Amino acid sequence: MSPIELNKRQDTILQIVKENGPITGEQIAERLNLTRATLRPDLAILTMAGFLDARPRVGYFYSGKKTMATVTESMMNLKVKDFQSVPVVVAENMTVYDAICHMFLEDVGTLFVVDDHGFLQGVLSRKDLLRTSIGSQDLTKIPVHIIMTRMPNIVYCKKNDSLILAAKKLIERQVDSLPVINEKEEGIEIIGRLTKTNITKAFISLADTHDL
């Protein structure tokens, strides 16, 4: 979808109608010190593009239609990199006990597990840790690599992916968080963390941007 570029006068007209609509073409022209005839092409463009609606004997009023198109368009433009959080990683040999402490201290719901080179090996969720805790094992003796979800089963995203694609992965795979990764020959580097909270923040930012 290519956005329609409005010129300065069309923007001004839109603003006038937003604030004063319904308003007649004549009244808009008066406010701009222009003739109705001069404005006709601008009003036609704004109406055709769906910015404005015109009702006979009532005048022009602002239509929400274009707003929806703009919201959709900006939604498609949201990128993972603009909303991702800092990843929290732990070593494969960290004990489950320490991982639980780490999760509390870092205030996150998912820890990423890395090898000695810092490359992604696994994911630990709250429930992975809870599940282990309700057993009778000594949590200070079990390394996290025993209980983590490991590669190649990890769902991830990349910084330039659209946020919508990442959101779909979160929902379809029923997980709370995706590592944002950079694939290197030597291994998978973790450069971010994308959670459902990030998606919710993006949702709010869309509403703010569009004054919804």
Smallest distance from ligand ADP to CB 159, Å: 15
Smallest distance from ligand ADP to CB 73, Å: 28
Smallest distance from ligand ADP to CB 188, Å: 12
β-bridge mates for residue 183, sequence order: 188
Nearer to ligand ADP, 190 or 202 (CB): 190
Smallest distance from ligand ADP to CB 111, Å: 9
Nearer to ligand ADP, 33 or 153 (CB): 153
Nearer to ligand ADP, 22 or 109 (CB): 109
Distance (Å, whole) CA 204 – CA 164: 14
Q: Which residues make up the interface to ligand ADP (CB under 6 A)?
A: 110, 123, 125-128, 149, 153-155, 174-178
**Angle value at C-alpha 118, between 145 and 180, nearest 5 degrees:** 90
Nearer to ligand ADP, 98 or 176 (CB): 176
Residue 22: name the closest of 65, 56, 59 by CA: 59
Nearer to ligand ADP, 63 or 177 (CB): 177
For residue 22, is the peptide bond before it cis, meaning its omega torsion is within 30 degrees of 0?
Answer: yes
Smallest distance from ligand ADP to CB 177, Å: 5
| Structure tokens that stand for 24 in this block | 């007649």
Residues 79/189, Cβ–Cβ less than 8 Å: no
Tell me 3's DSSP state: P
